[in-house]
Structure 1
Amino acid sequence: MARDRLAELLDASAAPAASSVYRKLAKSEMSVVVDGIGRLRFPVPDEQAVQLRGLGRRARFGRGEQTLTDPEVRDSWEIPKELVCVEWTDAFVTVLDDMRQELGLPPHCGLTPELHSMLLYETGQFFVAHQDSEKDDAMVATLVVTLPSAHTGGELVVEHQGQTRKYRGLKNALSLVALYADCRHQVLPVKTGNRVTLTYNLLLTGNSQDAAAGHPLVGDLAACLRTHFTTPVVLPYSHRRGDPPTRLAYLLDHEYTARGLSWSRLKGSDASRAALVRAAAEQAGCEITLALAEIQETWDAYDPDEDEDAWYGDDEDEEPDEEDSGSADDRQYVLQDLIETLTTLAHWISPETGLLVDISLDLSDAEVASTTPTADRTPYSSEYEGYMGNYGNTLDRWYRRAALVIWPRNQGFASRAEASPGWALDELTAMARAGKIAEAHEAARSLESFWHAAGRYTDQTELLRQALEAARELDDAQIAAMLLRPFALERLTPGHGLAFARLAAHYGDTWTDALLHDWAASWRPGSYGLAQAPLDWFENLPRLCTALSAEGSASVTAARRIVDLSWTMIAGQVGPALDGPLTSRHSAWLTSLGASCAGIIAAAAQLGSTGVLQDAHRLARTAGDRAHVLTMATLRAAATHQAGFGDLAVICAERLRTWLAQPQRVPGDWSIELPTGCACELCEVLGTFLRHPERRALDWPLAKDKRRHVHTRIDDAELPVRHETRRQGRPYTLVLTKTEALFERERLARERHEADLAWLTDSWKAST
């Protein structure tokens, strides 16, 4: 494949650069003076180490945006650098240049050292494996200078791309180690004596990019790009061919932070390879940018020390080992087959501004190439999932890598739009306003194949604002519908009112109705417990309708259609669920819908949507306790929405008066009605027992499956009946006992009904 050939060519293009380098200098090439102590002697004597300890404070470390102290992570002493004065001879300049060359940075670049800290490691102290943060935009590496001292242990261990190097301090010479900032490294515990170090931030001066236009490999790389972008892809799990790839992401070897990603500060072989690919992209008629990628690999793996019996659930109650979750040190697991790779671009450098911008773009395997396999790198996080019955064992690893992202210049708009929909919408609006209507239409049509996924990981409220603006400026009903179709109706806010109203007036009722229907298509009535987003949106529907109503008749029509769609969804959701007994689960669910129903009914009242109001009244009159719970929750949520709710209050009050007029249960009446739902022989016996006003207990020999069925009927209806199994004889005996909760529930229900009726009479004037 062309992308593999490109990776092979880049692999051979440059000698491998070191990720860490070591030099030593005579102790006479440096002097260190510390305020309050004076000039340090080499090797550093114990008495001066004690004085340094007196000046020090616990060394800190970074974790995300935080700066922390934790002796279990970093156990050492940091001497304030303002107390430290360091002088070097000219030999230090020569050593830095040698290190630059061995790190793979070109001759026209330089490394400038900036003192960061002075550290003292006493016996037993250490620093666990970590990566250095970039303290300056120009920082590319760290320099660790270990001062001469008579200590053992305390080795600096540097790991990168699966290779580990260990560096020891010296008794009578300076030990210097430069390492790229993305290298994981640690300081092993000091065994004897004291380890004293100076750490420097190495800042890159100059541009690490080489000029590669005349390099003999550029033509071959350009040919690879042309072939890649013109060869159809073999679709996964089939022999069919799809369209050629629209982009290529070549993963670089080093890791970069958002702060450190720059063409001018690429590390080692990344710089020379990037220069070659940039020249090849230009020759092949492609655009290119730098990006940051998140990669997740899922491996078929196993723990060789895992007890095989545990795979089958024998130890299912045991807690998992600490290292089985979230640890990046997963080398104890044996990898077998790579199951899946997910590569997502999260940021890239804008071709116009040169600034890093947020994007979100998932790449297929056919769009990714690399010289160094991701599996050879150290993951920043991993998680092992043991055998789970129908899947496992798997090991998930997460990595961060930089990437060169290339796409054909004639596909530039679509390639960038898929990564950043907001940018695309702003560009379309700008083109249309500049009078480039035909160009804007062509660019918009190039989005159609992927635009259905627009905004999955972005702020859809802002993206919808941009889409509404672009849809109006483009002045094409079909394109406008395509741009707006990916959104959900609940993304429409009062702030969108003016723009949406203008669209509705411009494109007409038929177009608007079709768009609203598409937006509401994600609402699937009948699934228990609708997602919270539309429910919250229904609650605030009156504000949206107010905003729309102010913009003319077309938008009023649209607002009524929105209310109708909203009520259709709610009615379809709750209508079939209003039959049956009222359980605590149903009561909680129906109560949670009260504010949503109130919002829709209030909006319907202000728009004069009589159909919605009449259907709400019909639902409220549905027999049973469930309808009453929903209606009361709606009324309580509508305390400030008087219009449209008076008839609902009357319906509730009438129902309550009817219930309260019924005679109360007399003491000794133990009759319970079994809800309908099953007419089997078991339920017939159960129903007969429950309805009997005097029988409180039933001993019922039943097999296991039959006992389970009876348990389920009782528990699902939350009946005040205790069920236990007496494990004697065959079959075991199911013992059913009616409980005192029967009378307590009825007492509490009557008190609640009386309170609700008083509230309706007082707040809604729902008198007879």
Structure 2
Amino acid sequence: MSNDAETRFLKTLQSIRGAGRFCVHGSIPFAFPGIRLRSGEELAFPLPPSQARAVRDVAEAAPYGMGAETRRDESVRRCWQIDAAGLEWTQPGWQRTVEDLVKQIAGELGVEGKVSAMPYKLLLYEKGGFFLPHRDTEKEPGMFGSLIICLPSQHAGGALLVRHQGREERVDFGAAHDATQIHYAAFFADCEHEVLPVTEGFRLCLAYNLVVPRGTKTRAPSATANAPELLLPGLRAVAEAAGNDLTAILLEHRYTEDGLSIAALKGDDRARAAALFETAERAGPTARLALVSLYQMGQLDEDYEDSYRSRRSRRGYREDSGAEGEMGEIYEETLTIAHWRTPTDKRDGMGTFAISEDCILSLATLGEGEPDEKFAEGYTGNAGCTMEHWYRRAAIVIWPQDAGPAILARYNFSAACEKFREMAERKSGAAALAPFSAALLDEACRRLGDAADYQSAPVALAVHPLLHGIALSGSEEHLQHMLRPVFLPVFRLADRALWLALLRAFGDKPAVFFLRHTTPANLSSHVNALFHALDAALNAAPELARGMAAQLPSWFVTGEKPDWRFRDESSVTPVHCWHLALAASCLVTAVADRTALENVLWSQGLLPHLREVLGPAFLEKSHRAWFAKSHSLAPALLTATVNTLAAECTRPLPPYPDWSRPVPAAALTAPRWQSGPLIMELLTFMTDPARGELRIRKPQDMRSAVEHFVRDHQFDLDMTTDKKGSPHTLVCRKNDASHQRSLKRRSDDETLLARLRGIEIVGKARTI
């Protein structure tokens, strides 16, 4: 599509106008509001100067928002304010007056649904008062605009200027002063506005937040007459030029992430969105409302008074006069689409798409002009000054109907895989699943093929819902597509639940494929998945479990630690590995394999192994029923474990009879550089039965080396520093910490022994 054709289409779209305006203003007959201050004084109208001063006496200087900060600066804003919570309303009829006014305003702004006006502030501008250009923050959920009601108060100047897209409305409450009238102005929150200086008198206003509560049901916007016919040729050309990609057609107004919905569309956006939705329905493309966000991070081009003092400012969708500093060179830029809504204003969980500028269609360039949000940070540590900008616009995003699965797979692969799994879970038919599966399998193959070895894990994890969905659908065709070497990382990171679904759906085919591609070279990275597969096979595929059990000894004696790149929170613990091996031991028939597995499981009966691994493995219940099967090694190993722990629990643990303390074994094999004269003196002191205290008067670095050595090896020593004299003295006093640890370990052994004795395994035990 040529640039001229794009421009014609966008100008046609721009010519579509809604029923509302960005700013409305006027007057209504005076109604007494009944405002009582906390001082107890009730305001009269027209406002006498004495009461204006009374308001000022109980008010506070009005701040302005700069991001997360609230600032007061009379070069930006001169105004007095009282929070609505600090006012008492004595006239019930005033609320009805406001409600009637809001109904009228909502129609003039073109806002659908029930609109509420929430009292915000009472604002007093005296002579010289003003507020520089700014935008209002959306202060509560559903807020879309502001209502200013100027109460009768004689003044000059103080005109309100409201601007949007090159247009300006001037509202001069002072020039229109009439004691029998109340003047008002209402405008959308993203409109820039300012209050010019008051030149005489006092300007008293009530500020309200205009809100459409979330969940409010509204009529779907309808396109203006002939609008779809005008847009149809251009939209078809846009769709044809994009091919199987998406196009985001930007709307006019600014929206926040929480404030975007079809019901909350402002002014002309509502009419244009309706026209685009109706045109897309005729032309064929799928259409969604979404929020396009441009993020920029770059150099902060600013002259700080104190360059090394970090200062933070944030200009956002707020009452704001401008953040400090401007964007210099841009280092990083991302463009995303998120917060999707269907034409019926329902959420569409498509997630976040990272897109290129080529996908954007707009007469204005996104990223020019003042950003919606701005964050500046000064020097922090070694980092220089940085500036961040956010620009957000609503957009109607279109793409070919049959390209939906491919679009989702390309831009949000994880969400697409998860959607496929959900569809399979709901038992969607093959016709519904086929487009998604084809697009996802192609995209998964491309991503895995492009990923370096160390980058494959995140991609493989994202593919898991797709593989699970294939298992739920039972599609042999799709499974065969995944039984290729490029998909090995997906199986390598599969957990028990995924293996169970695969085995139940396809028998042993997935496991046989994985075993066939498991070699001594990659066993360390495959072993976690092998144990998960065995876990599932013990439940769903006993014959497969038999074949896997014969390989168990090699899984334990690879001589390598599992590869950290392929481990996550679902990794099998050593205790569960031993539990699975105990369960599967009854399936191991070859004498050599049984002997090898028995040696691995027993590990020479070393107490740490029995306490930390084998004993707890017996206590797991998931596959304990297998322990009692014929040829199981579990009964004999349980008996041996109980006997060894029972013998250990009868060994006496007398307290130390003198000052001699054991030297930790690791300390005796410490590196040579740690074995200086002071360390040798320390080791001699530990075995001395007559000495309970060692004093080391040495410089701090030498004392610190001794302290680290003592703590690293858990010596039975308490250490303090005697700071008398120079250098100071490190005082080491012996304690019985190792004996206390032995008593605690004995208690733990007795508890473990009691629990193991409570396990009943019916089987033939033999001596280990």
TM-score norm. by structure 2 comes to 0.63
Preserved contact between residue 291 and residue 338 of structure 2 (Cα < 8 Å): yes
Q: For residue 756 of structure 1, what is the aligned residue in structure 2?
A: 748
Preserved contact between residue 3 and residue 224 of structure 1 (Cα < 8 Å): no
In 2, Cα distance between the equivalents of 1:572 and 1:672? 26
Tell whether 2:481 aligns with 1:479.
yes
Unaligned runs of 5+ in 2: 37-42, 56-80, 587-593, 628-633, 759-767
Tell whether 2:346 aligns with 1:359.
no
Q: For residue 553 of structure 1, what is the aligned residue in structure 2?
A: 542
Q: For residue 149 of structure 1, what is the aligned residue in structure 2?
A: 153
Tell whether 2:114 aligns with 1:121.
no
Q: For residue 290 of structure 2, what is the aligned residue in structure 1?
A: 291
In 1, Cα distance between the equivalents of 2:5 and 2:703? 67
Q: For residue 342 of structure 1, what is the aligned residue in structure 2?
A: 334
Q: How does 1:126-275 map onto structure 2 within 5 Å? A: 131-132=137-138, 141-150=145-154, 169-170=173-174, 171-172=177-178, 173-182=181-190, 195-196=205-206, 207=221, 209-210=223-224, 211-215=226-230, 226=240, 246-256=245-255, 261=260, 266-268=265-267, 270=269
Matched to 2:187, the amino acid is L
In 2, Cα distance between the equivalents of 1:345 and 1:522? 41
Q: For residue 14 of structure 2, what is the aligned residue in structure 1?
A: 14
Preserved contact between residue 378 and residue 385 of structure 2 (Cα < 8 Å): yes
Q: For residue 333 of structure 1, what is the aligned residue in structure 2?
A: 325
Matched to 1:290, the amino acid is L
Matched to 2:542, the amino acid is S
| Identity level (%) | 18
Q: For residue 605 of structure 1, what is the aligned residue in structure 2?
A: 582
1:403–1:749 CA distance, 2 compared to 1 (3 A): same
Q: For residue 411 of structure 1, what is the aligned residue in structure 2?
A: 403
In 1, Cα distance between the equivalents of 2:430 and 2:604? 54
Q: How does 1:685-704 map onto structure 2 within 5 Å? A: 685-693=677-685, 696-698=694-696
In 2, Cα distance between the equivalents of 1:564 and 1:189? 86
1:739–1:176 CA distance, 2 compared to 1 (3 A): same
In 1, Cα distance between the equivalents of 2:191 and 2:584? 64
1:115–1:275 CA distance, 2 compared to 1 (3 A): closer
Q: How does 1:293-332 map onto structure 2 within 5 Å? A: 293-301=292-300, 304-305=303-304, 307-308=306-307, 310=308, 323=313, 331-332=323-324
Give 1:600 shift. 3.9
Q: How does 1:466-505 map onto structure 2 within 5 Å? A: 467-469=469-471, 472-473=474-475, 475-480=477-482, 492=495, 499-505=501-507
Higher relative contact order (CA closer than 8 Å, sequence separation 6+) = 2
In 2, Cα distance between the equivalents of 1:503 and 1:36? 73
Q: For residue 572 of structure 1, what is the aligned residue in structure 2?
A: 561
In 2, Cα distance between the equivalents of 1:677 and 1:723? 26
Preserved contact between residue 80 and residue 117 of structure 1 (Cα < 8 Å): no
In 2, Cα distance between the equivalents of 1:461 and 1:214? 43
User: 3-state DSSP class of the match of 1:448?
Assistant: helix
1:365–1:77 CA distance, 2 compared to 1 (3 A): farther
Q: How does 1:355-504 map onto structure 2 within 5 Å? A: 355-369=346-360, 371-374=364-367, 376-379=369-372, 382=375, 384=377, 386-389=379-382, 391-398=383-390, 400-409=392-401, 411-418=403-410, 419=412, 420-421=415-416, 422-425=418-421, 433-434=429-430, 442-448=438-444, 463=465, 467-469=469-471, 472-473=474-475, 475-480=477-482, 492=495, 499-504=501-506
Give 1:180 shift. 2.0
Q: For residue 70 of structure 2, what is the aligned residue in structure 1?
A: none
Give 1:415 shift. 0.5
Matched to 2:221, the amino acid is N
Preserved contact between residue 131 and residue 184 of structure 1 (Cα < 8 Å): no
Preserved contact between residue 22 and residue 267 of structure 2 (Cα < 8 Å): no
1:638–1:251 CA distance, 2 compared to 1 (3 A): same
In 2, Cα distance between the equivalents of 1:119 and 1:648? 73
Preserved contact between residue 382 and residue 396 of structure 1 (Cα < 8 Å): yes
Preserved contact between residue 302 and residue 386 of structure 1 (Cα < 8 Å): no
Tell whether 2:602 aligns with 1:617.
yes
In 2, Cα distance between the equivalents of 1:184 and 1:686? 74
Give 1:348 shift. 1.7
Deviation digits for residues 557-596 of structure 1, max 9, x if unmatched?
6997999999799993699xxxxxxxxxxxxxxxx99994
Give 1:748 shift. 1.4
Preserved contact between residue 720 and residue 730 of structure 2 (Cα < 8 Å): yes
1:147–1:571 CA distance, 2 compared to 1 (3 A): farther
Give 1:632 shift. 9.2
User: 3-state DSSP class of the match of 1:688?
Assistant: helix
Give 1:290 shift. 1.8
In 2, Cα distance between the equivalents of 1:116 and 1:505? 64
More displaced 10-residue stretch of structure 1: 333-342 or 475-484: 475-484
Preserved contact between residue 79 and residue 119 of structure 1 (Cα < 8 Å): no
1:333–1:757 CA distance, 2 compared to 1 (3 A): same
User: 3-state DSSP class of the match of 2:381?
Assistant: coil
In 2, Cα distance between the equivalents of 1:521 and 1:164? 71
Q: For residue 87 of structure 2, what is the aligned residue in structure 1?
A: 77
Preserved contact between residue 349 and residue 357 of structure 1 (Cα < 8 Å): yes
Give 1:506 shift. 6.8
Tell whether 2:732 aligns with 1:739.
yes
In 1, Cα distance between the equivalents of 2:155 and 2:552? 78
Give 1:505 shift. 0.9
> Across the two proteins, how many residue pairs are aligned to each other?
663
Unaligned runs of 5+ in 1: 53-70, 101-108, 230-244, 526-533, 576-591
Matched to 1:384, the amino acid is E
In 2, Cα distance between the equivalents of 1:397 and 1:612? 62
In 2, Cα distance between the equivalents of 1:593 and 1:91? 60
Give 1:78 shift. 7.0
Q: For residue 590 of structure 2, what is the aligned residue in structure 1?
A: none
Preserved contact between residue 366 and residue 391 of structure 2 (Cα < 8 Å): no
1:162–1:547 CA distance, 2 compared to 1 (3 A): farther
Matched to 1:373, the amino acid is L
Give 1:467 shift. 1.6
In 2, Cα distance between the equivalents of 1:358 and 1:118? 35
